[in-house]
Structure 1
């Protein structure tokens, strides 16, 4: 049995993991989806990047989890990667699901053409509104896109623009990087460099950027296998 703490990316809350969590529990794992401050049922709660890091750390410590697998999707890789360093020997593994990876001094928006996101945040009172066009061509049905659009909430902009704070490299911790191929054939160069190290492995999924909706059973299998130490 493995404890998974599951954190979805921008706009999404714990609800995004419903199907994956059910699949993990069916094979005996513990799935603990987390909603980050300012999103979903926590909409309106003030949030900066370190608030989101602490959200993850608090969940691990509150439940006294050991050998825990932290899973960060998309934006959530940034707070999850920092939390992984901070929980010390409670960590078993990190899984980045087509995610940003934190580097000290860089933000989620660093290293990719993100001026449009910064403009959107400035024009929307410090929040990044959900952009439905992001979901086109990502192996999502119209019903799934509608579900995301109705359940999503504007994302606190400060969490996207503030720099990560790390003492070491994310490559110091054991990790699996899941690359969703419809969102680009290869990981970012900084991630590719980490994958050259002995502690990181790459798993590819032939789906879009939101595999918890498009391929929940396959994603759950990969998570289960990463947690059990057998790879994928």
Structure 2
């Protein structure tokens, strides 16, 4: 038995894993979906520097979890990757699901693919929050209309302070036992930071999914199978 700690990406909360968690539980594992501060049912909780990293570490410690598989999707790969280096021998594996990975001293904002200035402007226009995704953002991501409606309908503004939080690595990323899940409809190749970690990390594995950026909605059964396989590595 392992303990899965599931952390969804920007705008989402623990509810995003509702279609994935049952298969993991049926396989006999502990499953702990986590909402990060400032999001979903925790919108009232302030989020700033290192808050999301602490959210993950404190959940593991609060529940006294062992044999932990940390799962970070999209933005949450950054806090999850940092947390993985801080929970010591509690960690069994970290799984990055089409995720950003932490780079020492860099933040989600500083490495934003369209440039930091564009994201900073978007945050300024929305009172310091990243406005939730729209139906248009979901186009071409392998989602049905119903899945898109559920995803967009549940999204909440994302606290901008967390996006500007520079990563602090307690352990080199390449040393972690890790699986990277690349969703091919969101781009055929991992980012340069991910590719560097894959090449440097002898304990890293790459898995591809022929779906879009939100596989917990578009392909939950396949994602659950991949997570179970990763837990057995």
Q: TM-score when scaled to structure 2?
A: 0.95
Name 1:93's counterpart in structure 2. Answer: 93
Equivalent in 210, 227, 230 of residue 223 of structure 1:
227
1:29 aligns with 2:32: no
1:207 aligns with 2:211: yes
Q: Deviations over 1:64-115 (max 9, x none)?
A: 1112000000000011011111111111100000001001100012332244
For structure 2, list consecutive stretches of 5 or more residues without a partner in the other structure: none
* 8 Å CA contact 1:103, 1:169 repeated in 2: no
Distance 2:206 2:82 in 1: 20
Across the two proteins, how many residue pairs are aligned to each other? 229
Equivalent in 128, 131, 135 of residue 129 of structure 1:
131
Give the CA deviation at 1:166: 1.2
Q: Deviations over 1:186-206 (max 9, x none)?
A: 101121121123111100000
Name 1:138's counterpart in structure 2. Answer: 141
Secondary structure of 1:72's counterpart equals: strand
List, as ranges, runs of 4+ consecutive aligned residues in structure 1 with deviation greater than 6 Å: none
Distance 2:170 2:60 in 1: 20
Distance 1:65 1:148 in 2: 29
Q: Which moved more, 1:166-175 or 1:197-206?
A: 166-175
Give the CA deviation at 1:49: 4.1
Aligned-residue RMSD, C-alpha: 1.1
Distance 1:117 1:211 in 2: 24
Q: Deviations over 1:138-173 (max 9, x none)?
A: 011111111112211000001111211113321111
Name 1:18's counterpart in structure 2. Answer: 18
Distance 1:69 1:9 in 2: 17
Distance 1:172 1:194 in 2: 9
Distance 2:66 2:34 in 1: 17
For structure 1, list consecutive stretches of 5 or more residues without a partner in the other structure: none
Q: Which moved more, 1:178-187 or 1:132-141?
A: 132-141
Give the CA deviation at 1:116: 2.9
* 8 Å CA contact 2:86, 2:170 repeated in 1: no
* 8 Å CA contact 2:82, 2:170 repeated in 1: no
Name 2:197's counterpart in structure 1. Answer: 194
Cα–Cα, structure 1 residues 215 and 49, in superposed 2: closer, same or farther, change >3 Å?
A: farther
